[in-house]
């Protein structure tokens, strides 16, 4: 779907968005430098290779890095540099003046400085990806063949260091597991490319029916190894048809659940195609729902699906969430390192839509207390699945406002609202690094629903926020802010938030809103 071709009315644009969920079931997300770099290195035989190389060169920043600000540049820059070094070794070079050589040199210089900084952000598989790519870059520079032409100076330099806080031992254990041929946990399949040669036709990894391994182009290319006909090759040809590729595809269940949940919560009236709602019901099994085949079921996706279905009038039992209950909070998946605030906010949403179920009230109290205790001193919440506190605060604050029992989170909600008011930018927008449509939409949606009615300061902030949102929306090329192996932007989910936040006065209320979504 082309977003530029959407209808001009707000209602028409929202309906067009929902219809796109059925037209493009794989989902829409931004291309990833990390994943495109891996495909460039691992599958030069795949159609579109030259386009991917040119795309990587075009995406290099003036400072030599790739990707987002700060530590978010480390993983994509490592991937792009290693891909360019592999390309130079394969194809040769015209010398130091060639574009790939110059880009690789600038990228190596960037890495030499960046790797001595702070630990990278908490993105999935970073502790596996960084050691694997550092070793691969070192082999390109110091291996028997020597560095590619034009990069000889890098052969004599010290090895690029492993960032503080990262230990290569886990990568060693993962590769050891693959060598045994035993089944690999589904969540590790998403980053199978870190295993190197051991990934090729790994006995412990099974592609999904679509041919994808871990819903990842890079993981699938690593498993396939060479252009052998079959579902895996068909998947790669489909996902890489235009050149660059996303971190994950398909994202069917994730995209559908989040888009509908955002619109439902804001009271936007749309008609839901029957295949979309039926697909969400079918996605929920005994252990919950997964973002897509090849990925493990998780409490985050499960909760948003359950919340959405309940609001659509098609509720399912919340029993699949029991497997994620740690007794304190809910894990995203069993064995999770750390814990996610937005996952628990979504669990609270799902439980709040099923108040009569046995044990639900006690679980809501536990989750509420856990979320309140993790509010930052200034009133915001941060989380591991998004780079911006505005997304986490939106998810947590609205879950507390709507579903915390007995007003237990009233003070926390008020502090969160004050943080939003205090951090609005002079131009009316909100954003971590600069004002963006996505983050402004989250702030507007939160204030409109959780802010006190009749509060003049909130009313003024909403007027300024919606005004700036309208201006930003005309030229939106906002940054990728969502966490996967690389930062990414789920196009339709972000668009749903912007449309919902830009709604008219009648779309906002501090009282519970009825679902205004119809099943077609």
In the numeric block, which tokens belong to residue 363? 């679980």
Coil vs helix vs strand at 376: coil
pLDDT tens-place string over residues 77-120: 999 999 999 999 987 645 555 899 999 999 999 999 998 877 88
What number does CATH give the domain 249-505? Answer: 1.50.10.20
What's the pLDDT at 325?
A: 96
pLDDT one-digit tens code per residue, 332-368: 999 888 899 999 999 999 999 988 777 899 999 999 9
> Is the pLDDT confidence value at 403 over 70?
yes
Average pLDDT estimate for 267-276: 92
Residue 23, C-beta contacts closer than 8 angstroms, at least 6 positions apart: 1
Q: Is the peptide bond before 127 cis (omega within 30 degrees of 0)?
A: no
* Residues 459-514 pLDDT 10s: 999 999 999 998 888 776 779 999 999 999 999 999 999 999 987 433 333 333 33
Q: Which pLDDT band holds residue 7 (cuts at 50, 70, 90)?
A: low
Chain centroid offset of residue 506 CA? 31
Residue 234: CB atoms within 10 A of its CB come to: 13
Mean pLDDT of 393-406: 95
Residue 513, pLDDT score: 34
Q: What is the DSSP string of 390-431?
A: HHHHHHHHHHHHHH-GGGTTHHHHHHHHHHHHHT--TTS---
Whether the predicted pLDDT of 5 surpasses 50: no
> CA Rg, the chain, in Å?
23
- pLDDT over 90 percentage in the chain: 77
Q: Residues 218-268: pLDDT tens digits?
A: 999 999 999 999 999 999 999 998 899 999 999 999 999 999 999 999 999
What confidence tens digit (pLDDT) does each residue in 18-43 have? 999 999 989 999 999 999 999 999 99
Q: Locate the domains of the chain by residue range.
A: 33-189, 249-505
> Per residue in 55-80, pLDDT tens?
999 999 999 999 999 899 999 999 99
Sign of dihedral through CA atoms 162, 165, 169, 170? negative
């Amino acid at each position: 779907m082309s977003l530029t071709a959407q209808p001009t009315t707000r209602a028409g644009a929202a309906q067009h968005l929902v219809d796109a969920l059925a037209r493009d079931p794989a989902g829409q997300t931004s291309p990833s430098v990390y994943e495109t770099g891996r495909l460039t290195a691992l599958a030069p035989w795949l159609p579109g290779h030259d386009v991917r190389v040119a795309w990587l060169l075009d995406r290099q920043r003036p400072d030599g890095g790739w990707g987002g600000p700060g530590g978010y540049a480390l993983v994509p820059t490592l991937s792009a540099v290693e891909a360019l070094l592999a390309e130079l070794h394969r194809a040769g070079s015209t010398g130091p003046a060639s574009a790939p050589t110059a880009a690789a040199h600038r990228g190596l210089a960037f890495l030499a400085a960046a790797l001595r900084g702070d630990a990278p952000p908490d993105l999935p598989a970073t502790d596996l990806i960084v050691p694997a790519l550092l070793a691969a870059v070192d082999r390109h520079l110091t291996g028997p063949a020597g560095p590619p032409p034009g990069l000889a100076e890098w052969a004599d330099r010290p090895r690029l260091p492993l960032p503080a806080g990262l230990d290569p031992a886990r990568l060693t254990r993962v590769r050891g597991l693959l060598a045994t041929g035993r089944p690999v946990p589904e969540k590790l399949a998403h980053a199978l490319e870190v295993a190197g040669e051991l990934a090729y036709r790994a006995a412990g990894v099974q592609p999904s029916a679509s041919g994808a391994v871990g819903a990842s182009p890079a993981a699938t290319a690593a498993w396939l190894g060479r252009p052998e006909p079959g579902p895996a090759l068909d998947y790669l040809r489909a996902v890489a048809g235009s050149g660059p590729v996303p971190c994950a595809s398909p994202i069917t269940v994730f995209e559908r659940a989040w888009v509908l949940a955002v619109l439902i919560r804001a009271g936007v009236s749309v008609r839901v195609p029957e295949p979309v709602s039926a697909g969400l019901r079918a996605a929920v099994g005994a252990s919950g729902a997964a973002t897509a085949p090849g990925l493990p079921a998780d409490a985050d996706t499960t909760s948003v699906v359950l919340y959405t279905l309940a609001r659509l009038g098609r509720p399912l039992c919340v029993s699949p969430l029991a497997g994620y209950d740690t007794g304190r909070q809910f894990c995203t998946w069993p064995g999770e390192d750390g814990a996610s605030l937005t996952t628990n906010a979504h669990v609270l949403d799902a439980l709040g839509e099923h108040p009569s179920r046995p044990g639900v009230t006690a679980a809501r109290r536990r989750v509420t207390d856990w979320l309140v205790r993790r509010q930052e001193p200034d009133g915001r919440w941060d989380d591991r699945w998004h780079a911006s506190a505005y997304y986490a605060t939106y998810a947590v604050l609205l879950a507390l406002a709507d579903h915390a029992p007995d007003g237990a989170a009233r003070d926390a909600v008020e502090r969160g609202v004050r943080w939003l008011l205090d951090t609005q930018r002079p131009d009316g927008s909100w954003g971590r690094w600069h004002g963006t449509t996505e983050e402004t939409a989250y702030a507007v949606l939160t204030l409109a629903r959780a802010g006190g009615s009749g509060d003049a300061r909130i009313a003024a902030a909403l007027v300024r926020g919606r005004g700036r949102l309208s201006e930003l929306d005309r030229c939106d090329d906002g940054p990728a802010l969502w966490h996967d192996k690389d930062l990414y932007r789920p196009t339709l989910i972000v668009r749903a938030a912007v449309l919902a936040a830009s709604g008219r006065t009648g779309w906002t209320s501090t009282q519970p809103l009825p679902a205004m979504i119809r099943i077609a």
